[in-house]
């Protein structure tokens, strides 16, 4: 929120930029885009480091209540039914680590970012997007894992050639199995088929299918492209909440 020509408050992050924003329209737009980019990047890192969406999420209600009491009653019903995602507390270490990556303009690992989006979509009951994001996260992680594995016995050129021959999630799952790499036995049923149904056939995806896709994708990402060691929180900080 722009308070005046003197300061800007970013409520989502609880911080205030004390420098004066640029006055001209063009510079003001550039400034706003830069701040927006910074906030998105910082939020992505927090989600990746904490292992899930950093905001309370639930399905979009199909009804708009005119009574606040009914709104609150619906919120409580969703909460007790386990339909509200309650974010984990962010630790001081996670906050600082996300801040450093954001300052350096580092993008978070794409597979982990997509996995958080899939989780958010599943909570919101946006099942179609959930399986698409989950399958894409799995494909990104699998591609990185296959590349690193193949490089152990092949040149970069040979590795790229093999991967180019086995494009898309289905083929890369088969390649991983041929190479003796461990992939979930239900990957085809949980990820590949629902994704193809959603993308190519426009079929409806159930909430259970969405969560199963997220679970299977999580296993693949954790196996082939986990959070880097330097992004793992040291144990002494584990219980220090921000």
Per-residue model confidence as pLDDT tens for the chain (242 residues):
444 444 444 444 545 555 565 567 777 788 788 888 888 999 999 999 998 888 777 766 555 555 566 666 766 677 666 677 778 888 899 999 999 999 999 999 999 999 999 999 998 889 999 999 999 999 999 999 999 999 999 999 999 999 999 999 999 999 999 999 999 999 999 999 999 999 988 889 999 999 999 999 999 999 999 999 999 998 765 555 54
Cβ-contact 240, 91 below 8 angstroms: yes
For residue 208 the two structure tokens come to 């259970």
Cβ contact 35:49 at 8 Å: no
Q: What token pair was written down for 99?
A: 């801040």
| Distance in angstroms (rounded) separating the CA atoms of residues 138 and 53 | 18
What is the predicted pLDDT for the residue at 235? Answer: 76
Q: What is the pLDDT of residue 31?
A: 78
The pLDDT assigned to 10 comes to 45
What residues does each domain of the chain span? 1-54+91-105, 56-89, 110-226
Contacts of 59 (CB under 8 A, 6+ apart): 78, 83, 123, 124, 125
Does the domain made of 110-226 have the CATH classification 1.20.1440?
no
Res 139: pLDDT: 97
Report how far residue 170's alpha carbon sits from residue 143's, in angstroms, rounded to the nearest whole number.
12
Are 8 and 1 in contact by the 8 Å Cβ rule? The answer is yes
Query: What does DSSP assign to residue 9?
Result: E
DSSP annotation string for 53-84: -SS-EEPPPS---S-HHHHHHHHHHHHHTT-E
**pLDDT for the residue 71:** 63
């Amino acid at each position: 929120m722009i308070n005046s020509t003197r300061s800007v408050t970013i409520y989502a992050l609880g911080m205030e930029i004390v420098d004066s924003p640029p006055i001209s329209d063009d510079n003001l737009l550039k400034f706003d885009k830069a701040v927006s980019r910074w906030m998105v990047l910082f939020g992505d890192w927090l989600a990746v480091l904490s292992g899930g969406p950093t905001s309370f999420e639930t399905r979009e209600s199909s009804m708009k209540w005119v009574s606040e009491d009914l709104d609150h009653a619906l919120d409580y019903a969703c909460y007790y039914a386990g339909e509200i995602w309650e974010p984990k507390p962010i630790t001081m270490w996670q906050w600082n680590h996300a801040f450093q990556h954001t300052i350096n303009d580092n993008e978070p690992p794409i597979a982990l970012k997509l996995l958080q989006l899939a989780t958010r979509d599943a909570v919101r009951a946006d099942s179609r997007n959930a399986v698409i994001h989950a399958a894409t996260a799995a494909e990104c992680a699998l591609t990185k894992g296959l590349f690193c594995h193949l490089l152990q016995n092949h040149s970069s050129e040979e590795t790229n050639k093999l991967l180019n021959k086995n494009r898309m999630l289905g083929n890369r799952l088969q390649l991983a199995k041929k190479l003796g790499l461990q992939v979930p036995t239900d990957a085809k049923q949980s990820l590949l088929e629902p994704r193809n149904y959603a993308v190519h056939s426009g079929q409806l995806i159930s909430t259970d299918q969405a969560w199963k896709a997220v679970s299977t994708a999580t296993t693949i990402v954790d196996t082939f492209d986990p959070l880097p060691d330097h992004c793992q929180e040291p144990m002494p900080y584990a219980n220090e909440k921000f």
